Amino acid sequence: MKQFFASLNFPRAVILGSVVLSAILAFFAWQAHSRRVELTDQCEKRVKKLSTEILDLALQLNQYDQRVDADQFGKARDPESYIRSVAYEPNVAIGDVDITPKPVPLRTGLVDKRFMIKPKNRQQPFTRREISNFLYRLEEKSRRVRITHVKVEPQGKVKPDEIHKDVWTFDAEMTSRETTDEAPKKS
């Protein structure tokens, strides 16, 4: 080493310095070049697509916000209130109903919250329009619920060849399938 430095003239020092400096510069140049290639690809191809996707998602989110606003089931204090609010709607006019909740656990983490709905007065006659409006509105006002059971029978005894008065009674079941970690609703 001592001999090496003893013979270290100016050109040799320049060569040595150049080699060391070149190695360092080459490392940084390689890094910078890789970064440049990556950024060029991002700017010229990927970011435009990504921007479009973000704006599309923003529009979707806005729509979901609106749906959440319109979802009466979520807004209602509890499912029974939701059902009764629908039953008392002007075009439904079912009136008071009996609601029997029945949670049915499914596979791990899921539960079907079922609500059996029956008119308070079993003798009260309903038209097909009233019954169908009631059931339709239950599903229409919230995407979270489904009518999973319907039974519509004529009011009173009717023979097969008899034309009845077109008044009916019914019972139905509304189901909301949820994960068990969701905040439990009052049932």
> Which of the residues 41 through 100 are near another protein (CB under 8 A)?
42-43, 46-47, 50-51, 53-55, 57-62, 64-65, 67-68, 71, 74
Q: Does 127 help bind another protein (rule: CB under 8 A)?
A: no
Helix 128-140 × helix 79-87 angle, to 10°: 140
Q: Does 106 help bind another protein (rule: CB under 8 A)?
A: yes
152 alpha-carbon distance from chain centroid: 32
177 alpha-carbon distance from chain centroid: 13
Q: Does 36 help bind another protein (rule: CB under 8 A)?
A: yes
Among 26, 45, 88, 98, binds another protein (CB under 8 A): 26
* Window contacting another protein (CB under 8 A); options: 8-16, 82-90, 92-100, 118-126: 8-16
CB 152 within 8 A of CB 132: no
Among 149, 165, 180, 184, binds another protein (CB under 8 A): 149
- Per DSSP, the residues of 7-55 read T--HHHHHHHHHHHHHHHHHHHHHHHHHHHHHHHHIIIIIHHHHHHHHH
Shortest CB 98 distance to another protein, Å = 19
Beta strands 110-119 and 97-105, pairing class: antiparallel
Q: Does 121 help bind another protein (rule: CB under 8 A)?
A: no
CA atoms within 13 A on the CB side of 93: 9
Q: Does 142 help bind another protein (rule: CB under 8 A)?
A: yes
Among 33, 120, 129, 165, binds another protein (CB under 8 A): 33
Q: Does 11 help bind another protein (rule: CB under 8 A)?
A: yes
Q: Does 8 help bind another protein (rule: CB under 8 A)?
A: no
Looking at beta carbons only, is 98 or 182 nearer to another protein? 182
Shortest CB 97 distance to another protein, Å = 16
Looking at beta carbons only, is 22 or 91 nearer to another protein? 22
The most distant pair of C-alpha atoms in the chain lies apart, rounded to whole Å, by 125
Tally of helices (H runs) and strands (E runs) in the chain: 6, 4
